Amino acid sequence: TKWPEQSEELLGLIVNSLRALEGAVPQGCPEPRRRPQSAQKIALVLNKAPKHLQPDLVALVPKLVDHSEHPLAACALLDRIQKPDAEPALRLP
C-alpha cells in the first residue's frame, strides 16, 4: 500500500530533522535510554517507507538503535536490501 502524500511529507520532515540532530550532537554524548526492540520497529518503518527515503533511513539506523541492538538492526537491514524490490541504491549485487 502507498502512503498518502501527507504521510510521506511528514516522514521526509522526520528524516531531515534526525539528520540535523545527528550533526548537532557531539560524538560520545550520553544517549537517552531507548526502548527495546527498536531494531524491529525500524525494520517495519523501512518496509513501509517510500523507496526514495529508504537510503536516508538506513543511514540513520545506527544512531536510532541502541548499541546492544546493532546486530539485530544489521540483520534486518541485510534482509531488506537483499529483497528484489529493494531500492536500487541499496540493493546488494
Residue pair 18/46 in contact by the 8 Å Cβ criterion: no
pLDDT band at 2 (very low <50, low <70, confident <90, very high): low
The whole-model pTM stands at 0.53
| 89 assigned to some structural domain | no
Indicate the residue type of 45. Answer: V
| 86 assigned to some structural domain | no
As a whole number, mean pLDDT of residues 20-36 equals: 53
| 87 assigned to some structural domain | no
Closest CA to 77 of 67, 88, 66, 90: 90
Least confident residue range of 3-12, 35-44, 47-56: 35-44
As a whole number, mean pLDDT of residues 65-85 equals: 80
Domain holding 70, by residue range, is 5-27+34-81
As a whole number, mean pLDDT of residues 26-55 equals: 67
How much is the pLDDT for 56? 84
Residue pair 77/61 in contact by the 8 Å Cβ criterion: yes
| 47 assigned to some structural domain | yes
Count: domains in the chain: 1
> How far is it, in rounded angstroms, from Cα 56 to Cα 43?
14
